[in-house]
Amino acid sequence: MRITDMKCNRIINPLGFELDEPVLSWIVETEEAKLQKACRIVVAEDEGFSSIVFDSNEREELSGIGVPLPIELKPRTRYFWKVHVWTDAGEAKSDIAWFETAKLDEAWEAKWITPDTEDTSVHPIIRKNFNISKEVASARLYISGLGLYEAEVNGSRVSDEYFAPYCNDYNDWIQYQTFDVTKLLTQGENCLAALLGNGWYKGRFGFSGRQEGYYGDRFLLISELVIQYTDGTMEKICSDESFLSTSSHITKSNIYDGEAQDANKYIKGWSETSLSIADWQKVRVWDKDTGLLEARRSLPVIIKEKRKPVKVIHTPKGETVLDMGQNMVGFIQFKVQAPKGTRIWLQYGEEMQEGCFYRENLRTAKAEFEYVSDGEASEVRPYFTFYGFRYVKVEGLGEEINPEDFTGCVIYSDLERTGNIETSNPMINRLFLNALWGQKGNFLDVPTDCPQRDERMGWTGDAQMFSGTACFNMDCDAFFRKFLYDLAKEQANYNGVVPHTVPSFGFINTQDGEDFAAGNSSAWADVATIIPWNLYLYYGDKSALRKQFDSMKAYVDSIRRKDDGSRLWNSGFHFGDWVALDGKSEYDTFGGTPRDIIATAYYAYSSELVGKAAGVLGMKAMEEEYLQLSKEIKAAFTEEFVSPRGRLVADTQTSYILPLFMNLIPNELRGRVLEDLCRNLKENNYFLKTGFVGTPYLCRVLSENGHNDIAYKLLLNEEYPSWIYEIKLGATTIWERWNSLLPDGKFGELGMNSLNHYAYGSIVEWMYRNMCGINPTEEYPGFQKIKLKPYPDKRISQVKASLKTAAGSYESGWSYEEDGLHYNILIPFNAQAEFLVDETEEDKIIVNGIALKDSDLSYDKKESGLNILLAAGRYQIIRLDAK
């Protein structure tokens, strides 16, 4: 028995994060114990726990799902905490974990500084030499740089992060990072230095058309190095006029276009004290508001994996191309020793065409890396850009290159992998991996739409539709909370309206009418209500709703202000069922489902979520108000779009899916709507026609309404349009369009055609929830008690899911064996599951070798089957003769 996964705000040992409301969580791992009897949490300002600031004492109700700390935090302070749990089979004591605050409300003594030049294209190095004469106890660096920065102390990077200070609306707030640099300092001479490059703040990005940068055009740096000495004294090294600057070997950088480096301009030892800096120039103080600086919310973006090329391709055009074997996001790091002046040129692309390198689908993004050799052996990588790619064309090294000299660095936010699914069908396994790789590639600080072309924006619709899958695959609580903080900041600027992308980079205006950039597109803007609710559902922490409630409510209110009393949402611009296949033509991106149907459905759904959130937070009057609003919208939906006998005004798959999933119509009409959905599928030879809006719910609606066979039929289709069609054409991520590649392997429409676009990967949520049966519940959020209802199908002989939740690790699998259908289940400590099985005869259910009726398990017998209550433990349940 042991205590693991000790987290503060879902982060292990967070250093310098925004911790305005610290919540502690942990997992008890045991197969002996089933129930918690008591728990105690102790928090102190010292590792010896002599200065205790919080002691819960022994309490039965404390849960590892999350315990808020009612303490007033001090700036720049490390807090230590430990947990003691008593169970029905013994007790467990945790190791010591910690969290450390940043500056909090402490004023900045440092100043923003910038190179003393009017040439804002020169990529600078800014540094400061300083002396330490006493023994250092601890040292923290509080730092931010614009556009992007990498900092070093005495020749060593201060962290393994990339792309700090990350992506947000820099007009509203700027993140600073905190680094422990104690071990990097030495008595005597020291050096702090930072290399700066373009990024989201500065440089070409977004739809504004500004080449110099949407938020600013100057490189800026601010830093405070706070040194605590063993004698109890403190010293601060603050950025000011005493810092010096020079140009670096980076000649160009841009997220879309790539980076250029000239090794002949490289300053060896640029952050070391031995370097002569006599010719470095002064910096000047820049008048920028330090009040915009806030402690970080972004998880570190790091190299999470490394890959070697699987093949070197020599194309009919004479190109030399590396095949990485996987559509990935990051960059290539390579070893080189070439004659001085040699130009080495890497270009990145997603797909080959007719055996040759191809990248027309990147639009204007150059996605390249240029390196001019100085003749010395080097290991080279870009600093301030990333690429979405599988293939890399290499020029300048000759045709015969050594693939071992090249390493693919897979970069994304430091998210913990929590879920996995394996089946007996290799195509379904590949589909699962494709969705997972799409998440890896698009969860780089913000949940982007695509990582390769001149876009890479935080499209709200994609994030909303994939959020359920994302939270199954990875612990996304901290990641999404930062995104939602950005969202709320944007809304505050636009009276509750949600822009299409977050951050918006100006891609919004406040005009009324049908203007494309006006924001509040249904299904996209509903990110404001759906993701906070999902975070509560998946992680069980009410603070997700409390912090976002004003944002949730403001969004629904922004719709209600334009509601003329009809309770219909039939105004404004909407993306519709984006890239569905039932539009006026094959490439009609809006799909065939009337947009007022989609908008009104989401109006009702989001209003209901606001009401539910208010209920969770104890706001009774507001709960009643928004649930009543939702009820009125549902009634209006039925009156406007459904005949008295249940016929919808539009015969599209998404038109049927939304009212069924969102419970928009009276129960007596559900049967007709479901029949029409099945008829539509049959008339389309059981091929889906849905776009971004309908696809996430399609198979869930079918499985949960008596048509599980059709859900599997859609899943297992191998012809266009289907998920496996993509896999048969070599997809290793999810495509933006069902027809991104045509059956002959050629690209379809090029203007909007990404091969790494995760929205359709939302089928994986159905795989977790329905195929494997693991469902969180509103009554017991955080998976404390789940609804366990697998929907097996004999076309797949074996399935297994493992899922580490806030409550602990679940397993749910099934297989068809000679004697029937076997279920293999693991319920974690102090959790429960209501296991629903489609069998009404108790003597046909065997649990761990004992007939159900002879076991000590509680169960209910219903018309649809048996509902068995499972406590913590392992179970093999056999449904005899289920072939």
658: left (phi over 0), alpha (psi -120 to 50) or beta: alpha
Closest to 760 (Cα-Cα) out of 630, 527, 620, 580: 580
Handedness of CA 105, 110, 115, 119 (dihedral sign): positive
Q: Which residues are catalytic?
A: 455, 736
Q: Is the peptide bond before 68 cis (omega within 30 degrees of 0)?
A: no
Output the six-digit token pair for 823.
């279920």
Number of Cβ atoms within 10 Å of the Cβ of 726: 25
- How far apart CA 843 and CA 866 sit, in angstroms, is 11
- Beta pairing class for 865-870 and 873-880: unpaired
867: left (phi over 0), alpha (psi -120 to 50) or beta: beta
* Angle subtended at Cα 815 by Cα 813 and Cα 821, rounded to the nearest 5 degrees: 110
Report residue 38: phi and psi, to 5°: -160, 165
Burial environment of residue 744 by CB neighbours within 10 A (0 to 12, 13 to 18, 19 or more): exposed
Q: For the packed helices 695-703 and 708-716, what is the interaxial angle rounded to 10 degrees?
A: 140
Give me the residues paired with residue 236 across strands: 226
Torsion of CA 770, 776, 778, 780, to 10 degrees: 140
The helix/strand/coil state of 306 is strand
CA distance readout (Å), 344 to 24, 334, 398, 532: 50, 11, 10, 47
- How far apart CA 706 and CA 717 sit, in angstroms, is 20
Report residue 441: phi and psi, to 5°: -70, -25
Report residue 564: phi and psi, to 5°: -80, 10
Q: Is the peptide bond before 165 cis (omega within 30 degrees of 0)?
A: yes
Output the six-digit token pair for 627.
């649930």
Output the six-digit token pair for 352.
């080959």
Place of tokens 């490289």: 266
Helices and strands, counts by H and E, the chain: 13, 46
Place of tokens 């430990």: 82
Closest to 3 (Cα-Cα) out of 821, 840, 880, 830: 830
SS (H, E, C) 184-223: HCCCEEEEEEEEEECCCCCCCCCCCCCCCCCCCCCCEEEE
